[in-house]
A and B are shown apart, each in its own frame.
Chain A
């Protein structure tokens, strides 16, 4: 099992560019989430999903879109990158309610210049 795979690991964008961060899991987990981590801080929830076709907003959704067309994939789209979106992005998955906790991907370090 690969677990949770995030690509790319590093990315530099120019202000105004768009891009998609990929997240895939091979554990048949129902729940998936995207978080961002800024220096010296905890993780903040961007968007989350409780199953294919179901997504919802977290604490800091502005500037980001998600979709969940399959159980395995949960891509995060930056619509028009801003320097404030410079951060480390983590994707996580879990089997669902009342079960085991999160498995995290290794993160994507994004710099917007």
Chain B
């Protein structure tokens, strides 16, 4: 398979702070996704970003496929950002076969 490593594993922020989450992967990929799992267990797709940079409100993501990493930026964090953030990658040639990292658990305190 492909190794997917996320860092940091745990993160505690004060509301209003900014943060950067990292996802490293061990092989070339077709695609990369970022997800948020809220405290109730629901998984929400944040970005589908095989390369380049995308922004959605306070969140943005950058994938540098040639260097095998992706970053998720959260600005002006809110308590509703709490939960676990996962990245998932699809290895080149393996369509729809995504491998997940173990996640970054974020706790935003009021």
What is the interface of chain A, defined by CB distance below 8 A to chain B? Answer: 31, 33, 35, 41-45, 48-50, 56, 58-59, 88, 90, 92, 94, 97, 99-104, 106-107
How many contacting A-B pairs (Cβ < 8 A)? 61
Contact B96 A42 (CB under 8 A): no
| A48 and B86 within 8 A (CB) | no
Question: What are 9 pairs between A and B in contact, CB < 8 Å?
Answer: A41-B103, A42-B101, A45-B97, A48-B96, A50-B95, A50-B96, A97-B30, A101-B47, A104-B43
Q: Tell me the interface secondary structure of chain B in the complex.
A: strand
| A97 lies within 8 A of B100 (CB) | no
Contact A103–B45 (Cβ < 8 Å): yes
| Neighbour of B98 across the interface among A45, A97, A103, CB < 8 A | A45
Contact of B100 among A31, A42, A99, A106 (CB under 8 A): A42
Distance (Å) between the CB of A75 and the closest chain B CB? 17
Nearest to B33 among chain A residues (CB) is A101
CA distance A50 to B93 in the complex (A): 13
Shortest CB distance B47–A (Å): 7
Closest to A35 in B: B100
The answer to the question of B1 belonging to the interface, with a C-beta cut-off of 8 Å to chain A, is yes
Within 8 A of A (CB), among B1-24: 1, 4
The answer to whether A49 and B96 touch (CB under 8 A), given A59-B1, A97-B30, is: yes
Encode contact with A along B79-110: 1 for CB under 8 Å, 0 otherwise.
00000001010000001111111110000000
B56 at the interface (CB under 8 A from A): no
B69 within 8 A of partner (CB): no
Given contacts A104-B43, A106-B42, contact A42 B98 (CB under 8 A): no
Residue A43 contacts which of B30, B48, B88, B97 (CB distance < 8 angstroms)? B88
Question: Beyond A43-B88, A104-B43, is A31–B103 a contact (Cβ under 8 Å)?
Answer: no
